[in-house]
């Protein structure tokens, strides 16, 4: 499942035993995979200041999730010819954003003695980093979308019927009489049923039409494009007589420089678009980052010898050599944004745990991954049963929706006896 539950309970002996009971039940029943989620001890200001910080982190959490979803969607849009492979490029700290990624994304940005609730906080640092990523995302995707739109406009010219499509990729210099003071070659669209009539009548539609000067250049399902050469001074008369016979003179004059320019523009746009996600000779250098190189190890509950996958930022970046600049930027900064998002979740767990369980700081956070969607209800029942003693009113209200929790503005579905945050990794849905 692409879903994780981040919870915490007090760190005293009774509740640590409750966590072990939870782990035993969920493991035996194959409900979830559980991992201890280590969070450093921060210096805490006042509890009142943490209330305001809680609100700020909630907003930052929403912003971060929105940002990484937009980045994931941008990867899909850039890789339009291979959307099924987009997920392979959504990595964080060297791991996929399902399963191993969560075990490797937990690292820390600032000194462990950062003070929460007053002055500069980790939340401020993360917010600035995410704001810069969003600014860059907007500018880069805007440039890409402009390129894509320009290319689509040119591609539209090469589609459609003979009345509207560009002719630069159809005609050639040899199809026209050029640089003549008296003669000119016109292009005429003739309906398919009228081919025979055209061949019989085009020389007599006007005076001064060059005999046997017509040639079929191309055709579509509706008609064909013919050339005809005549004297310049009878152009308007020929057009008028052609219309009367259901022949349409296409307004086109061969300009070799303009045709060359249009072809080169199409080739350039195709190349520029392709280079956004394929091999590019332009090396994109990663700018300065708030996140240092790091490797992470977390300890799964009940299996302390199982290490989690970890990979340094430098290793991840080296793997991106040879990729187009936009795709490479998205990969690197998706990782940065995702790790920041998980940090925000961790900060929220810390703040809410202190507000819920009080000082001194003493709690244990655990990351749960439900094995399947159908097990989520049973997993919730296990958690509510194990931690019922933390808040009897909340536990009762979960079972009975008619019971209100005094002073709580959230719906009962949002509040549990333990601290709980949901992490939804269905980023491409």
CA 94, 95, 100, 105 torsion: positive or negative?
positive
Structure tokens at 281: 């000779």
Domains of the chain: 3-147+322-428 (1.20.1460.10), 173-253 (3.30.70.100)
Closest CA to 108 of 332, 362, 290, 334: 290
pLDDT score of 323: 67
pLDDT score of 289: 36
DSSP 181-201: SSEEEEEEEEEGGGHHHHHHH
pLDDT score of 239: 96
Residue 327 burial (C-beta neighbours within 10 Å; 0-12, 13-18, 19+): buried
> How does DSSP classify residue 4?
E
pLDDT score of 201: 96
Rounded CA separation 37/353 (Å):
13
Which pTM value belongs to this model?
A: 0.70
Q: Which residues contact 318 (CB under 8 A, 6 or more apart)?
A: none
Residue 64 burial (C-beta neighbours within 10 Å; 0-12, 13-18, 19+): buried
pLDDT score of 235: 96
Around Cβ 109, how many Cβ atoms within 10 Å?
Answer: 17
* Omega cis (within 30) before 242: no
Strand, coil or helix: 219: strand
Closest CA to 322 of 357, 272, 362, 282: 282
pLDDT score of 93: 66
pLDDT score of 136: 96
Around Cβ 114, how many Cβ atoms within 10 Å?
Answer: 18
Please give the backbone phi and psi of residue 250, each rounded to the nearest 5 degrees, phi first: -85, 125
To which H or E segment does residue 13 belong? helix 13-28
pLDDT per residue of the chain (429 residues) written in tens, 0 to 9:
578 999 999 999 999 999 999 999 999 999 999 999 888 878 887 788 888 889 999 999 999 999 999 999 998 888 775 556 777 778 776 665 444 444 444 444 444 445 565 434 567 889 999 999 999 999 999 988 888 888 787 777 778 889 988 888 889 999 999 989 999 999 999 999 999 999 999 999 999 999 999 999 999 999 999 999 999 999 999 999 999 999 999 999 888 888 888 778 877 877 776 666 553 323 333 333 333 333 333 334 443 333 333 444 444 444 444 467 888 899 899 989 998 998 899 999 999 999 999 988 999 999 999 988 888 999 999 999 999 999 877 666 665 544 454 444 444 456 899 999 999 988 887
Around Cβ 319, how many Cβ atoms within 10 Å?
Answer: 14
pLDDT score of 29: 92
One-letter-per-residue 3-state SS of 54-95? HHHHHHHHHHHHHHHHHHHHHHHHHCCCCHHHHHHHCEECCE
Q: Which residues contact 229 (CB under 8 A, 6 or more apart)?
A: 177, 183, 184, 185, 186, 209, 210, 213
């Amino acid at each position: 499942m692409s879903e994780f539950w981040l919870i915490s309970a007090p760190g005293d002996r009774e509740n640590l035993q409750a966590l072990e009971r939870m782990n035993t039940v969920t493991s035996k029943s194959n409900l979830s995979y559980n991992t201890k989620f280590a969070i450093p001890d921060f210096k805490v200001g006042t509890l009142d200041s943490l209330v305001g910080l809680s609100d700020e982190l909630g907003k930052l959490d929403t912003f971060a999730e929105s940002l990484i979803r937009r980045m994931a969607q941008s990867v899909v849009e850039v890789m339009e010819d291979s959307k099924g492979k987009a997920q392979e490029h959504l990595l964080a700290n060297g791991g996929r954003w399902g399963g191993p990624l969560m075990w490797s994304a937990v690292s820390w940005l600032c000194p462990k003695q950062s003070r929460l609730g007053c002055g500069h906080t980790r939340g401020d640092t993360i917010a600035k980093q995410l704001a810069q990523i969003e600014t860059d995302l907007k500018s880069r995707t805007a440039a890409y979308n402009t390129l894509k739109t320009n290319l689509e406009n040119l591609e539209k010219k090469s589609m459609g019927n003979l009345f509207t499509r560009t002719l630069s990729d159809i005609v050639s210099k040899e199809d026209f009489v050029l640089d003549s003071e008296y003669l000119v070659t016109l292009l005429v669209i003739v309906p398919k049923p009228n081919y025979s009539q055209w061949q019989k009548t085009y020389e007599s539609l006007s005076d001064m039409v060059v005999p046997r000067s017509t040639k079929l250049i191309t055709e579509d399902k509706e008609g064909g494009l013919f050339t005809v050469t005549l004297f310049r001074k009878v152009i308007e008369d020929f057009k008028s007589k052609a219309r009367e016979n259901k022949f349409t003179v296409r307004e086109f004059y061969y300009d070799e420089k303009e045709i060359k320019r249009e072809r080169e523009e199409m080739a350039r746009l195709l190349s520029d678009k392709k280079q956004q996600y394929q091999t590019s000779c332009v090396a994109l250098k990663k700018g300065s980052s708030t996140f240092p190189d790091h490797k992470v190890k977390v300890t799964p509950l009940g299996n302390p010898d199982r290490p989690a996958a970890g990979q340094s930022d430098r290793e991840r970046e080296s793997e991106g050599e040879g990729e187009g600049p936009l795709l490479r930027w998205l990969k690197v900064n998706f990782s940065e944004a995702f790790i920041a998002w998980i940090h925000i979740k961790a900060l929220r767990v810390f703040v809410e745990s202190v507000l819920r369980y009080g000082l001194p700081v003493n709690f244990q956070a655990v990351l749960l991954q439900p094995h399947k969607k159908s097990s989520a209800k049973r997993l919730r029942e296990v958690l509510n049963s194990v931690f019922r003693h933390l808040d009897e009113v909340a536990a009762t209200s979960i079972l009975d929706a008619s019971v209100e929790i005094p002073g709580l503005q959230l719906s009962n579905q949002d509040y549990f006896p333990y601290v709980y945050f949901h992490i939804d990794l269905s980023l491409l849905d």
